[in-house]
Amino acid sequence: MLNLLALNHLGWRSFFQQQLSLDELEECSVARVMEHHRSSYELMSNEGSMPLPATPNYPAMTVGDWVLLDREHRLIRLLERQSLFSRKAAGSRVTAQLIAANVDTVFIVCSMNQDFSLNRIERYLALAHEADVEPVIVLTKADLCDEPEQYVEQVRQLDSLLMVEAVNALDISSVEVLIPIAFSKSFS
């Protein structure tokens, strides 16, 4: 039987569990792709870390994917994704390069200095919305900025419901506001 407490710490939710039959819950194990190398994947399950050799007959997988394994840790199938970051692969082929799957929240980080770019933030917001991921804008270097609220207000004009936090990365109490955001869905 699955150790759901351990899987919850890896991001397991009812969305994924609903994809399993009762037999699969009893007979199989679930693992999350933590690393993708040319010839293998590194998986994490309630049994710990394990390698999975990559073969051409496997579906395209990426970091964050959930997979169902048999008792010998062979791939049975890839579970449906809740979200996916991808882009057009380099070259002339019309294929997608998978970046990350099953992400809940993405932090879009931009400093409040000469590198600040509202256009860049908009592009990243478009990617987050395309991937169906909740974006949080983190504006850094609040300690070096005379009026951080001006930057926050510019970003909020893009979307009034957007979560925007101005932080000083050198001050732990300043970045603590991000902790509940980062872990809000991991344990629900």
- The residue ranges of every structural domain in the chain are 4-84+93-100, 105-183
**What averages of pLDDT result for each successive group of 10 residues across the chain (188 residues)?**
69 95 94 95 93 94 97 96 86 80 95 95 94 95 93 95 94 88 60
Cα gap 23→44, rounded to integer Å: 21
Q: Pairing between strand 84-88 and 75-78?
A: unpaired
pLDDT at position 3 is 56
Q: Distance (Å, rounded) from C-alpha 59 to C-alpha 7?
A: 22
Query: How high is the pLDDT of residue 2?
Result: 52
pTM over cut 0.75: yes
Under DSSP, is residue 69 helix (H, G, I), strand (E, B) or coil?
strand
> Which tens digit of pLDDT belongs to each residue from 168-182?
989 999 889 888 887
Distance, in Å, from the CA atom of 180 to the CA atom of 111, rounded to the nearest integer, reads 21
Burial classification of residue 55, based on how many CB atoms lie within 10 Å of its CB (0-12 exposed, 13-18 middle, 19 or more buried): exposed
Give the count of beta carbons closer than 10 Å to the beta carbon of residue 185. Answer: 13
Query: Which CATH number does 105-183 carry?
Result: 3.40.50.300
The pLDDT assigned to 109 comes to 96
pLDDT of residue 187: 41
* Fold for the domain defined by 4-84+93-100: OB fold (Dihydrolipoamide Acetyltransferase, E2P) (2.40.50)
The pLDDT of residue 20 is 96
3-state helix, strand, coil in the chain (%, to 5): 30, 30, 40
pLDDT in tens, 23-60: 999 999 999 999 999 999 999 998 889 999 999 999 99
Residue located via tokens 């008792």? 71
Quick one: 172 exposed, middle or buried, by C-beta within 10 A (0-12, 13-18, 19+)?
exposed
Among 15, 77, 12, 14, which Cα is nearest to 44's? 12
